[in-house]
Structure 1
């Protein structure tokens, strides 16, 4: 069945349409990273080969380019590149260079992410971003990436969703190392955001654009109590101020050429700090939240207010689940929110969709579909809707 279409005006010439992926999700975990250990301990489903990207990347790029996409964001797996401290794997370097070359040969602009969730096991054993010399270790890695892959990168996105990483790894404990410590969370939150901005200062020296990818949302108080207002303000500060304060400092105000972000939901919150599905009357998706396009509009409006005269990138939007008709409607409505924001004068460089091809979804394994294409590379009807929007 063909999904219903939503009227969306054309975007201006030069607007970037892309898709995004990560190493672990598209290649699978490696014994050299800490997600592998998480899987082996039974705390996450096996990632296997991700979605077979390691062998199908050239044909995947050709498919996406033919479909009309111009950008592709991928991560270079630190653990594959440096399985032991100071020891770089020549085969992994060559493989990633071949992947980047194939993307460029397909006329895709290749955006490179340096860290997307999984850490080298040796770095994690040292304490990760809690380690006393984590900043030095990270800076060496960033410099290595810039020197080794800078000629093939068209843009840089240093760290994927810093706040979400700190929250899952050190507050809720659902990702490795599985800690639940408010003190550790706040320490890592600051450290990983600073690592992101410091990386941008290094990477932009090569002349390629840099972008953040913050996990952003707006909160809707579940009631009018002072307690709920207080906890909402606290969590809002974690989501927004943790990186905005850095962006406004003299050292970092020009670190990023554009401010990118991921959006999936905007929850309600109660006095206990519980995040609840919002709007409450809407269907809840398989990951426990409501895919609500107007929330993207709220995030865009907030960004425009907080960072006037800056350039932005919708670095990640997607819909998880088997209901492809709902995926098509949601994505069209979300894209409409972007178009509306641009009509108000907001400078938005483009949209990267999560994701092109069904992949591994961390704790949900292979059971939640986000792809415009399935693992067999068969397009879903929603892919044709997106293609029609890109060709307007």
Structure 2
């Protein structure tokens, strides 16, 4: 999409439509949950490396190494280690979900645990994940399985990771195996989590593995990820033929796309142009590729990639939206031509991210044009006291309800996260969990104030939290 068109579209969406009130008094007076449709998925989300513990993959290796200038890759040199030990405490975590009243849970399977060497499968791990899916179903919780959430087996990383087309082949085989192993219990599949984030941090900024700063490598990796998604979707549809939940479909296939609101810092044309370019790359390139089957990635002065991907067009049954924050954008002379910041005085989370629930409403309205159901696959905040999370949860679900009331087909909301967990480069400092994990007290799970807010929403939706 042309950058100027993107800016015009954002301005029109932001200013010319009659938008709902996001005043705090209005949100607090709304019985959130009652405006959500029947069958709506209300759940929480986690990722394998962040909660399971004991994983050996490219991220575990990254945690042990440093940047060339000697700085540790992870805040305070933290290692994921046991994480929240969910590999061994999954039944306990399911009981937490039942207390919340959830009817869905999004989790990822760890490729490195399942296929530690090429073609060598860990049947014990396969059976463990199968048991998880069965346990969830027995509790009335729909399992939503993510196949790739950032991490790679060491052998895949050693062969070049997502720059190497052989990784696409390997991921296709892995997807087929997962469909056969879990398909009797799983209908909802998420092939990839946030490919745009992965390529920016891993191949452009160099702050995640493989630690590159090469726009061409970034473009290649993104094209391979989208090809991997298309081929994974094909394998899932071919090999998962069991309708586990009885809704008439054996597979519901999507991916999770990370979005951020980018707003010009001023009315200067230069700020608007840079904002439009940033939005077009980060927010629009992936949905456009899913809609057309054509990957178009342009970074002025360094990259111009145009590629048709067989099977990519119409490959999703739903689109996941991971939404957290908004950035103000000012043109400058940096490599990205922009400076992104949060204005002084704005409410922020403990990582300094702008808290802007209206942005979720705007993206749901925007992506309704894709013509597929939308699912909020992640939404949450780092709140180390727990005091801000209840209103954050209420205000963002209010944003979902307002979009639903205007005809947007939103089928689910997954709060990030069920538990405090290993937050990648930030280690264990951030607290995103509905349940606090006390790392100095045996990884004990404790309620945050938002637990009761979530239970209230669940009851309003007609679900039944356990005592």
Aligned residue in 1 for 2:453 = 385
Q: 1:346 Cα shift?
A: 0.6
What secondary structure, in the 3-state scheme, does the structure 1 residue paired with 2:317 have? coil
Q: Note if 1:16 corresponds to 2:41.
A: yes
Q: 1:211 Cα shift?
A: 1.9
Cα–Cα, structure 1 residues 390 and 158, in superposed 2: closer, same or farther, change >3 Å? same
Aligned residue in 2 for 1:70 = 103
The answer to whether the Cα contact below 8 Å between 1:18 and 1:71 also exists between their aligned partners in 2 is yes
Report the Cα distance in structure 2 between the residues aligned to 1:302 and 1:266, rounded to whole angstroms.
Answer: 15
The answer to whether the Cα contact below 8 Å between 1:58 and 1:103 also exists between their aligned partners in 2 is no
Query: Once the two structures are superposed, what CA deviation does each residue of 1:96-133 show, in whole Å capped at 9, x if it has no partner?
Result: 22222222222211011111011111101111111132
Aligned residue in 2 for 1:37 = 61
What secondary structure, in the 3-state scheme, does the structure 2 residue paired with 1:265 have? strand
Q: Note if 1:165 corresponds to 2:233.
A: no
Q: 1:151 Cα shift?
A: 1.5
- RMSD between aligned alpha carbons? 1.9
What secondary structure, in the 3-state scheme, does the structure 1 residue paired with 2:80 have? coil
Cα–Cα, structure 1 residues 361 and 17, in superposed 2: closer, same or farther, change >3 Å? same
1:32-111 equivalent positions in 2, closer than 5 A: 33-41=57-65, 42-44=72-74, 45-111=78-144
Q: Give the TM-score normalised by the residue count of structure 2.
A: 0.79
Cα–Cα, structure 1 residues 194 and 6, in superposed 2: closer, same or farther, change >3 Å? farther
Structure with higher Rg: it is 2
The answer to whether the Cα contact below 8 Å between 1:28 and 1:360 also exists between their aligned partners in 2 is no
Aligned residue in 1 for 2:349 = 285
What secondary structure, in the 3-state scheme, does the structure 1 residue paired with 2:314 have? coil
The answer to whether the Cα contact below 8 Å between 2:58 and 2:157 also exists between their aligned partners in 1 is yes
The one of 322, 326, 339 equivalent to 1:262 is 322
Report the Cα distance in structure 2 between the residues aligned to 1:29 and 1:196, rounded to whole angstroms.
Answer: 27
Q: Note if 1:122 corresponds to 2:160.
A: no
Deviates more, 1:188-197 or 1:291-300: 188-197
Instruction: State the aligned residue count.
Output: 387
The answer to whether the Cα contact below 8 Å between 2:53 and 2:87 also exists between their aligned partners in 1 is no
The answer to whether the Cα contact below 8 Å between 2:53 and 2:86 also exists between their aligned partners in 1 is no
Q: 1:274 Cα shift?
A: 4.0
Report the Cα distance in structure 1 between the residues aligned to 2:423 and 2:287, rounded to whole angstroms.
Answer: 28
The answer to whether the Cα contact below 8 Å between 2:165 and 2:224 also exists between their aligned partners in 1 is no
Query: Once the two structures are superposed, what CA deviation does each residue of 1:35-84 show, in whole Å capped at 9, x if it has no partner?
Result: 11111114222112111211110121122123210101111100011111
Aligned residue in 2 for 1:180 = 213
Deviates more, 1:180-189 or 1:274-283: 274-283
Q: 1:324 Cα shift?
A: 2.0
Q: Which runs of 5+ in 2 are unaligned?
A: 1-24, 66-71, 241-249, 294-310, 438-443, 461-467
Report the Cα distance in structure 1 between the residues aligned to 2:358 and 2:320, rounded to whole angstroms.
Answer: 18
The one of 116, 139, 158 equivalent to 2:172 is 139
Q: 1:218 Cα shift?
A: 2.1
The answer to whether the Cα contact below 8 Å between 2:364 and 2:374 also exists between their aligned partners in 1 is no
1:173-212 equivalent positions in 2, closer than 5 A: 173-205=206-238, 206=240, 207-212=250-255
Q: Give the TM-score normalised by the residue count of structure 1.
A: 0.93
What secondary structure, in the 3-state scheme, does the structure 1 residue paired with 2:255 have? coil
Q: Note if 1:153 corresponds to 2:183.
A: no
Query: Once the two structures are superposed, what CA deviation does each residue of 1:270-315 show, in whole Å capped at 9, x if it has no partner?
Result: 11344534454213333231121111122112112x32x4211111
What secondary structure, in the 3-state scheme, does the structure 2 residue paired with 1:216 have? strand
The answer to whether the Cα contact below 8 Å between 1:358 and 1:371 also exists between their aligned partners in 2 is yes
Deviates more, 1:235-244 or 1:260-269: 235-244
Report the Cα distance in structure 1 between the residues aligned to 2:275 and 2:263, rounded to whole angstroms.
Answer: 8
Cα–Cα, structure 1 residues 115 and 219, in superposed 2: closer, same or farther, change >3 Å? same
- Structure showing the higher strand proportion among its residues: 2
Q: Which runs of 5+ in 1 are unaligned?
A: none
